[in-house]
């Protein structure tokens, strides 16, 4: 059931702007223009008012230059994933070991290797494959991490990767082998689609939603291409969309919003794991 329009939070300084952001200190809903980046999350202009020689940095400014300091989880995932690809490219033996240990071979998942629905996101088949996924993570990851917190973001990424792997396992051929972070990336894409939909009544929100919808249509076509694990894309997308919706419903405006987001995304990770354990015959 869709929430009624009256339940959509709006920026306390711009009542015409729906938003999924909230000040980490006072809990007031704020739009992206009012967001001020802070070590404890985003703050409203009142709570972020400068004292002494402290400088306030706007969310718009910081989002334009993502760095390891502002989005450590995003950049750590990129670094590990690229390092694994380079290591496998330089050593055939290492590549074989990584594939045998972490790729999602559905018959091995069925035999008890449950971790493969998560770890397949670390492996990639080609430079184009890893380059496309990591560039997409660079585009969608850091800003999401800055808005929701590093720990909830990490849980979201893992939950989407697991959901993609789970759906691929449940509905894909038993002999199928899948690798790639596409399910996790589609989870971020799904989360951003929800954010854009919530902000659709603002000029920026409408523009974002239109652009993301076009990207979604393109990626749906790509997902239908032979050799592409479209089920993993779908599972990750639905997980990201659902997690973002639950975050909006239960975490926005709460003083412990980061903890609530972490609990929700962590619960989806647990559901991914519980489902694969439940349906497997081992």
Residues of the chain with pLDDT > 90, as a percent, come to: 57
How far apart (Å, rounded) are the C-alpha atoms in residues 118 and 246? 22
pLDDT of the residue at 208: 72
pLDDT digits (tens, 9 = 90+) for 104-139: 999 999 999 999 999 999 999 999 999 989 998 998
64 falls in which pLDDT band (50, 70, 90)? low
Report in angstroms the alpha-carbon separations of 148 from 64, 93, 183, 203, 240.
17, 39, 20, 23, 13
Check residue 253 and give left, alpha or beta (phi > 0: left; psi -120 to 50: alpha). left
What DSSP designation does 125 have? S
Which domains occur in the chain, in start order?
Answer: 9-65 (no CATH), 69-279 (1.20.1540.10)
Both tokens assigned to 26: 């006072």
pTM more than 0.85: no
pLDDT of the residue at 59: 42
Phi and psi (nearest 5°) for 233? -60, -45
Stretch among 159-173, 174-188, 226-240, 260-274 having the lowest mean pLDDT: 226-240
pLDDT digits (tens, 9 = 90+) for 132-181: 899 989 988 999 999 899 999 999 999 999 999 999 999 999 999 999 99
């Amino acid at each position: 059931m869709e929430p009624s329009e009256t339940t959509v939070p709006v920026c306390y300084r711009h009542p015409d702007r729906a938003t999924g952001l909230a000040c980490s200190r006072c809990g007031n809903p704020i739009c992206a223009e009012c967001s001020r980046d802070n070590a404890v999350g985003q703050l409203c202009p009142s709570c972020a008012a400068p004292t002494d020689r402290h400088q306030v940095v706007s969310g718009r400014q910081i989002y334009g230059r993502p760095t390891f300091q502002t989005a450590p989880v995003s950049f750590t995932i990129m670094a590990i994933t690229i390092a694994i690809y380079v290591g496998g490219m330089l050593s055939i033996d290492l590549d074989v070991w990584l594939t045998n240990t972490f790729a999602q071979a559905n018959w091995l998942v069925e035999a008890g290797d449950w971790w493969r629905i998560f770890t397949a996101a670390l492996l990639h088949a080609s430079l184009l494959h890893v380059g496309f996924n990591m560039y997409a993570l660079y585009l969608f990851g850091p800003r999401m991490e800055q808005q929701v917190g590093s720990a909830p973001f990490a849980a979201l990424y893992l939950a989407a990767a697991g959901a993609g792997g789970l759906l691929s396992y449940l509905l894909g051929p038993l002999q199928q082998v899948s690798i790639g972070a596409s399910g996790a990336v589609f989870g971020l894409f799904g989360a951003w689609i929800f954010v854009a939909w919530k902000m659709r009544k603002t000029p920026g929100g409408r523009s974002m939603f239109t652009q993301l919808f076009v990207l979604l249509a393109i990626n749906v076509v790509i997902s239908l291409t032979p050799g592409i694990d479209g089920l993993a894309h779908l599972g990750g997308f639905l997980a990201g969309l659902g997690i973002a919706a639950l975050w909006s419903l239960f975490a926005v405006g709460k003083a412990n919003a980061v903890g609530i987001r972490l609990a929700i995304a962590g619960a989806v990770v647990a559901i991914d794991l519980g489902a694969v354990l439940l349906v497997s015959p081992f």
